[in-house]
A and B are shown apart, each in its own frame.
Chain A
Amino acid sequence: MRFKSFCVTAIVTILGLSTAPALAQSGNITIWAWDVAASSLKLVLEDFNEKFPDIKVDVQDLGNQQVFDKTLAACAAGGAGLPDIVQVENFEAEIIWNRFPDCFSNLKDLGYTADIQAKFPEFKRTELEVGDVAYAMPWDSGPVAVFYRRDFYEKAGVDPASIKSWDDFIEAGKKIAAANSGVSMAQADFNGDSEWFRMLANEQGCGYFSTDGQSITINRPACVAALEKVKEMKSAGTLAAGNWNEKIQSSTAGTVASQLYGGWYEGTIRSNSPKLDGKWGVYPMPSLTADGPHAANIGGSALAISGTSENKEAAWAYLNHALGTNEGQVAMLKGYGLVPSLLSAASDPFISQPQPYWGGQAIWSDILATLPKIVPSRGTAFQGDADNIFKATQIKYFEGGYPDAKTALGDAAAQIASATGLPVAE
C-alpha cells in the first residue's frame, strides 16, 4: 500500500511539474460576455496572442440577461456547461457567490496576488471577494459624471463650472429650459429603474445595505436626503421621464441638455450621436452642498473563472492581460469607452489627451480623478429584492403615498427586512 501510494504521489508530482507550465501556454478558452464588453474582449485578443500564441480565445456575445440566466442554470447543474470565463455584473455578483459558493474558482490559487489586488480600488472588490476567496477580477467601473450639451448651456448663459450643488443644478435647469424651447435639463427612469437615487445616495455615502452586507441602511438620513432631492428635481421639472432607450433618443434628437451616468455612458453617446461631434462636454456631479462629496459609482463588471474550467491557467493568463495591464484596459477604453478600474491606468498618456468628440476636453482625466474617492456600495445577494422594493416605494412616494421621504424609506427598510431576514441598522 505504502509503495503504491508513493508511486501515485510521485506520478502526480511529475505530471504536475511537467504539465503546469505547458497549460499556461496553450489551450482553448471560451468566454460569455455581452454587448460592447464582448467587443472589447475581442479587441485585446491581438495583443494577447502575441504574448500567448497558442491560447485560442472564443468570445461569445450572449446578451446581458442571457449570461446571468445561463450562469445561474449552469451553476445549479454543478457547473456543467459553463465556459472558462464569465462576465459578471458587480451588483449581481453576490447572488451567484452566495447561492453557489463552489461554482467559480478562487483566483488567489491561480496567481491573483495581494500585489495585483491592490491595483484595484476597494469599492470594486467588495462584492467580488467573500472572506478569503476572490471570485472575480474587477474590470470596468462607472464613476458618475454629468454629460452635457455645451451649446444648450451656453445659450442659457450657464457655466457648468458654477454648478456645485444639486440646487445649482435645478436653477441652471430652469434657465436652460427657458432659453432652449423643448429641451429638458435631464432625464430619469422612474418607472423601471432607480438610477438617480442610487447615484445620489452613493455620493452621500449611503446604500441599500451596510458595507459588510449584514444590515439594511436604506432609511439612513443620507439616503433620505438623496430621495428628497430626487423628488425636488422631479417636481421642479429638472428631471423628465425617460428610460434607457428614450434617453438615447432624446440625446440624439437634441431634446435633453444633460445626462447623469457612469463613465461608460461616454461610448453610448459617442456611438449613438456621431453628428453631435464637439457639442458634448463633461463636468463632475453636483452634491447636496457645494463642498460635499462629488464622486459616486454606478454599474461596472468583472470577470470570473469557472470552477469546472479545464484550462484555468490559460484563462488566468487572459484575465491578467485584459484586466491587469494598462495596455489591455486602455485599449478597451479607447475602443468602447469602458472605464478601467485599474488604478494605474489613470497615468496612461491616453487619459490626459484631449478627446476630439468632447470638444477637446480631456474627459478621462476628469472622470478617473473621482475613482479613489468613491465610497463602496454593497450589492449583496439581496440586491434584486431591495431594488424592486425601492422602485415600488419611490413610485408611491412620488404619487404622494407617503407624508415624507423618511416614512417612505422606513417602509422600504421594513419590507426589505421581511424579504431578506436581515436586520435594519440602528
Chain B
Amino acid sequence: MQLRNRAAYGFLAPYLLIFAIFWIWPIISSFWMSFQNTRVNPWAFNPGMNWGRLFSDPAFYNALKNTMIILVIQVPVMITLATVIAVLLNSPLLKARGIFRFAFFAPVVVGEVAYAAVFRLMFNLDFGIINKLLNKIGIPSISWFAEAPFAMALLIIAVTWRWAGYNAIIILSGLQSIPEDVYEAATLDRVSKFKQFIYITLPLLRPVILFCVVLSIIGSMQLFTEPFLITNRGGPGGGTETLGLFLYRQGFASLNFGYASAIAYTMAGLAIVISLLNLWLGREPK
C-alpha cells in the first residue's frame, strides 16, 4: 500500500471503526440472530423457528397488509398534492412566497410527539374540532380511534399533512431548474397552460418525483411513530399496526430478538424490491 493511501486510511480510521461497530456489526449480528431461537436461555440455532413462523403468522400478514394499504393510498395522494403545491408555490402571481414556502415546510419541523398529541385532540370523538365541523355540515360524529378504517384514514391524513410540504419543496427545486424558454416557446405555439403542465413540466420533473416516491416508500415501510402515538399502538385491535410497530413489539415488548430480526430483514428486502420496481417503471423511455 502506498504511503498516501495509508495516511488516508489512518485519518478515516475513527469513522470506519464507528461505522463497523454501529452499522456493519449489527447488520451481521441481526442476520445471525434471525436464525436463532431467542425464546430459550441460552439461544439455540433453529432457522425454522423465526422464518417458518413469519410466513404463517396472521399478525405479520396483518401488519404487512396495513403497511401496503398506507403505501398504496398515501404515497400517490401525497406526491400528487406535493406537486400541486409546488406548482402553486412557483406561480409568479404568488405574493409573500417565502412565508408560504416556510408554512408548507413547517410540519416537518414540529416534533412528532407534539403533532401526534394535537392530532389526537383534534380527532377526539366528543370534543375534537374535526367532529364538531362534521356535525356543522350534517355528518354524524366519527369515532376515529375505535373503527379500523377510520383510524387508518386518520393515519394517512396525519402522515400526508406532515410530509406533503417537505416533498413540495423538493419538487419546487426541480421546477425551478426547468428553463423558462421551453414554456415561452410553447406559449408562442398556443399550447394551453394545462397541456404545458402535462407535456413539459411533468416529464421534466420525472427524476425529482421518482426520488420523492422512493423516499416516501421507504418512509412508509418504516412508519412507526404515528401508529404508536396517534392510534395508540396500532389500535383498534391491530387495525393500524404497521410492520415497524410489529417489529418493535416483537423485539422490545416480547423480547423476541430473533423474530424481530427476521421481520427487519423482510422489511428491508421489501423496501429494496419496491424501490427497484419503481426505478424500473420510471426509467427514461428509449
User: Is B98 at the interface (CB under 8 A from chain A)?
Assistant: no
CA–CA, A391 to B255, complex, Å?
Answer: 19
Q: Would you give the shortest CB distance from A254 to chain B, in whole angstroms?
A: 16
Contact A384 B49 (CB under 8 A): no
Contacts A95-B255, A392-B58; A421 near B40 (Cβ below 8 A)? yes
- Which residue of chain B lies nearest to A246 when distances are taken between CB atoms in the complex? B146
Measured CB to CB, the nearest residue on chain A to B41 is: A98
User: Is B34 in the interface zone, CB < 8 Å from A?
Assistant: no
Nearest to B125 among chain A residues (CB) is A246
0/1 interface trace, chain B 35-79, chain A, CB 8 Å (1 if under) = 001011100000001001100111100100000000000000000
Q: Does B236 have its Cβ within 8 Å of any Cβ on chain A?
A: yes
A420 to B39 Cα, complex, angstroms: 6
B56 engages A418 (CB within 8 Å): yes
Min CB gap A137→B, angstroms: 24
Number of CB contacts from chain A to chain B under 8 A: 57
Give 1 or 0 for each of A363-393: 1 = CB within 8 Å of chain B CB. 0000000000000000001101100110110
Q: Kindly state the separation between the CA atoms of A178 and B39 in the bound complex, as whole angstroms.
A: 51
**370-426 of chain A: CB within 8 A of chain B:** 381-382, 384-385, 388-389, 391-392, 395, 415, 418-421
Most chain B CB neighbours (cut-off 10 Å) among A95, A98, A388: A388
| Interface of chain B residues 233 through 262 with chain A (CB within 8 A) | 235-239, 249, 252-256, 259
- In the complex, are the beta carbons of A385 and B254 less than 8 A apart? yes
Q: Which residues of B contact A98 (CB under 8 A)?
A: 41
The chain B residue sitting closest to A393, CB to CB, is B58
Question: Counting CB contacts under 8 A, is A190 at the interface?
Answer: yes
Chain B, residues 151-164, CB within 8 Å of chain A (1/0): the string is: 00000000000000
CB <8 Å contact, B237 and A419: no
Given that A388-B59, A421-B39 are contacting pairs, would A241 and B249 also be in contact in the complex, using a CB cutoff of 8 Å? no
CB distance from B240 to the nearest CB of A (A): 11
Chain A residue contacts of B57, Cβ below 8 A: 415, 418-419
A389 touches B59 (CB 8 A): yes
Report B-chain residues with C-beta under 8 Å of the C-beta of A395. Answer: 237-238
If A98-B41, A389-B59 touch, does A419 touch B53 (CB 8 Å cutoff)?
yes
- A99 interfacial by beta-carbon distance below 8 Å: yes
Instruction: Compute how far the CA of A216 lies from the CA of B237 in the bound complex, rounded to whole angstroms.
Output: 23
Q: B148: shortest Cβ distance to chain A, in Å? A: 8
CB-defined contacts of A289 to chain B, threshold 8 Å:
none
- Cα-based distance from A310 to B59 in the complex (angstroms): 44
Question: Does A354 lie at the interface of the complex (its beta carbon under 8 Å from any beta carbon of B)?
Answer: no
Looking at the complex, which one of A99, A191, A420 makes contact with B237 (CB distance below 8 Å)? A191
Contacts of A190 in B (CB 8 A): 237
Which residues on the B side are within 8 Å of A382 (C-beta)?
39, 254
A421 vs B40: C-alpha distance when bound (angstroms):
9
Interface range on chain B (Cβ under 8 Å from partner): 20 to 34
Is there an interface contact between B254 and A191, defined as CB atoms closer than 8 Å? no
A81 at the interface (CB under 8 A from B): no
Among residues 87 to 124 in chain B, which have CB atoms less than 8 Å away from a CB atom of chain A?
none
Chain A residue contacts of B40, Cβ below 8 A: 421
Scan B224-239; emit 1 where CB is below 8 A from any A CB, else 0.
0000000010011111
CA distance A74 to B252 in the complex (A): 13
Residue of A nearest to B239 (CB): A191
Are the C-beta atoms of B58 and A415 separated by less than 8 Å? yes
Which residues of B253-281 are within 8 A (CB) of A? 253-256, 259
**Cα distance A388–B237 when bound, in Å?**
9
Q: Is A21 an interface residue (CB 8 A)?
A: no
On whether A192 and B49 interact (CB within 8 A), knowing A384-B253, A384-B254, the answer reads no
Interface residues of A in 81-138 (CB under 8 A from B): 95, 98-99
Mark contacts of A68-85 with chain B using CB atoms, 8 A cut-off: 1 yes-contact digit, 0 otherwise: 010010000000000000
Q: Give the residues in chain B near A69, CB-CB below 8 Å.
A: 252
How many Å from the CB of B53 to the closest CB on chain A? 5
CA distance in complex: A98, B57 (Å)? 24
Contacts of A415 in B (CB 8 A): 57-58
Nearest-Cβ distance from residue B242 to partner chain A, whole angstroms: 15
Residues of A within 8 A of B238 (CB): 388, 391-392, 395
Cβ contacts under 8 Å, B146 to chain A: 191, 241, 243
Residues of A within 8 A of B253 (CB): 384
Residues on B with C-beta less than 8 A from A391 are 237-238
A392 in complex: contacting residue of B37, B56, B237, CB < 8 Å = B237
> Restricting to A224-263, which residues have a CB under 8 Å from any CB of B?
241, 243
Best-buried of B49, B238, B239 by chain A (most CB within 10 Å)? B238
Q: Which chain A positions have C-beta within 8 A of B56?
A: 418
Contact assessment for A392 and B41 in the assembled complex, using a CB-CB cutoff below 8 Å: no
Contact: A418 with B53, CB < 8 Å?
yes
Query: B255: which A residues are within 8 A, CB to CB?
Result: 72, 95, 99, 381
Contact between chains at A191 and B41 (CB < 8 Å): no
- What is the CB-to-nearest-CB distance from A97 to chain B, in angstroms, rounded to a whole number? 11
**Residues in chain A near residue B235, CB distance under 8 A:** 191-192
| A213 CB to nearest B CB, Å | 13
**From residue B146, how far is it (CB to closest CB) to chain A in Å?**
7
The listed residue with most B CB atoms (<10 A of its CB), out of A69, A389, A421, is A421
Give B61 Cβ to nearest chain A Cβ, in Å.
11
> Considering residues A99, A192, A243, A392, which has the most beta carbons from chain B within 10 angstroms of its beta carbon?
A192
Contact of A385 among B52, B62, B236, B256 (CB under 8 A): B256
Query: Within the assembled complex, what's the spacing in Å between the Cα atoms of A192 and B234?
Result: 10
CB neighbours of B49 from chain A (8 A): 421
Q: Mark A172-205, 1 if CB is under 8 A from B, else 0.
A: 0000000000000000001110000000000000
Of the A-B pairs whose beta carbons lie under 8 Å apart in the complex, a sample of 25, sorted by A's number, is A69-B252, A72-B255, A95-B255, A190-B237, A191-B235, A192-B235, A192-B236, A384-B249, A384-B254, A385-B256, A388-B59, A388-B249, A389-B59, A391-B237, A391-B238, A392-B58, A392-B59, A392-B62, A392-B238, A395-B238, A418-B52, A419-B57, A419-B254, A420-B39, A421-B49
State the A residues within 8 Å of B (CB).
Answer: 69, 72, 95, 98-99, 190-192, 241, 243, 381-382, 384-385, 388-389, 391-392, 395, 415, 418-421
A381-B255, A391-B237, A392-B58 are known contacts; what are 5 more A-B pairs with Cβ within 8 Å?
A72-B255, A190-B237, A191-B236, A384-B249, A392-B238
